[in-house]
């Protein structure tokens, strides 16, 4: 899996491309951005939320339950030293799931790949290619 990122219109806005699709990020106006796209931290939260939504929807589909009203909200705190997000809070509204499905639905959404990546921190390697 690979995502390629390139600047777009300045050095606070970027385009991320993968599999022929593009996602844009932007910084707020106060730091020189156009604020015309999500910030990278919001994109991280969106990745988590859409992954959870996918697993919830698949559970509802499997048990032929209504997905009407399915919604996911993700909140997080911004911390410093080092700058990061913490204390993620995920809220899933699944009004089509009867109460007896609550535990199984929760187990299903906990299989979200993004959730598992964040709860089991991955290794990361950085390679800087500089100069001519």
pTM, two decimals, is: 0.93
The position carrying tokens 């593009």 is: 22
Q: How many other C-beta atoms can be found within 10 angstroms of the C-beta atom of residue 20?
A: 5
At 104, which helix (H) or strand (E)? Answer: helix 102-109
Task: Taking residues 38-49, report their average pLDDT.
Answer: 97
Task: Taking residues 29-40, report their average pLDDT.
Answer: 92
Q: Which residues contact 115 (CB under 8 A, 6 or more apart)?
A: 48, 51, 52, 90, 109
**Cα separation, 87 vs 71, whole angstroms:** 20
Length of the chain: 132
Task: Please give the structure tokens belonging to residue 15.
Answer: 């385009």
Write the DSSP string, 36-99: -S--HHHHHHHHHHHHHHHHHHHHHHHTT---TT-EEEEEEEEETTTTEEEEEEEEEE-TTS-G
Band of the pLDDT at 10, cuts 50, 70, 90? confident
Is the pLDDT confidence value at 9 over 90? no
For 47-100, the pLDDT digits (tens) are 999 999 999 999 999 999 999 999 999 999 999 999 999 999 999 999 999 999
């Amino acid at each position: 899996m690979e995502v390629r990122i390139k600047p777009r219109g300045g050095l606070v806005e970027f385009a991320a491309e993968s599999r022929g699709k593009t996602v844009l990020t932007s910084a707020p106006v106060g730091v020189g951005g156009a604020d015309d796209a999500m910030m990278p931290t919001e994109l991280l939260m969106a990745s988590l939320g859409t992954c959870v939504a996918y697993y919830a929807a698949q559970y509802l589909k499997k048990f032929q339950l209504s997905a009407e009203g399915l919604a996911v909200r993700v909140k997080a705190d911004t911390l410093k030293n080092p700058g990061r997000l913490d204390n993620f809070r995920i809220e899933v509204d699944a009004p089509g799931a009867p109460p007896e499905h609550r535990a199984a639905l929760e187990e299903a959404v906990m299989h979200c790949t993004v959730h598992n990546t964040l709860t089991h921190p991955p290794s990361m390697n950085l390679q800087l290619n500089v100069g001519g």
